[in-house]
């Protein structure tokens, strides 16, 4: 991880763009606040990384634990992405 990192935020189409920036450039962006983004489709990302996304139709302790595990998996994928060194 870089010694410094930028954070960005966006609303509507800017919310979608802020998510894209975080995923595509994790070496630069250390966080993102995406407010009311345009529809985001992670189906290809989910298939590529074999993530177990499910519908949010249950909200018990087991489901919360499963979502927490998935969040950690996603974070690990984002933060382990190859970094580009600044020249």
Digitized pLDDT (tens) for each residue of the chain, 87 residues in all = 456 667 778 888 778 888 888 888 877 877 788 887 777 777 787 788 787 777 767 778 888 888 788 878 877 777 776 655 544
Residue 12 lies in a domain: yes
77/40 Cα distance (integer angstroms): 18
The pLDDT score that the predictor gives to residue 12 is: 83
Supply the pTM of this predicted model: 0.43
Please give the residue range of the domain that contains residue 30.
1-40
Overall number of domains in the chain: 2
- 33 and 15 co-located in one domain: yes
The pLDDT score that the predictor gives to residue 82 is: 60
- 78 and 57 co-located in one domain: yes
């Amino acid at each position: 991880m870089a010694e410094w990192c930028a954070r960005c935020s966006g609303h509507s189409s800017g919310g979608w763009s802020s998510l894209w920036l975080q995923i595509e450039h994790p070496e630069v962006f250390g966080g993102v606040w995406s407010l009311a983004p345009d529809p985001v489709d992670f189906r290809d990302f989910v298939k590529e990384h074999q993530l177990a996304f499910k519908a949010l139709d249950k909200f018990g302790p087991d489901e919360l634990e499963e979502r927490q595990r998935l969040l950690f998996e996603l974070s690990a994928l984002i933060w382990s992405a190859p970094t580009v060194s600044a020249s």
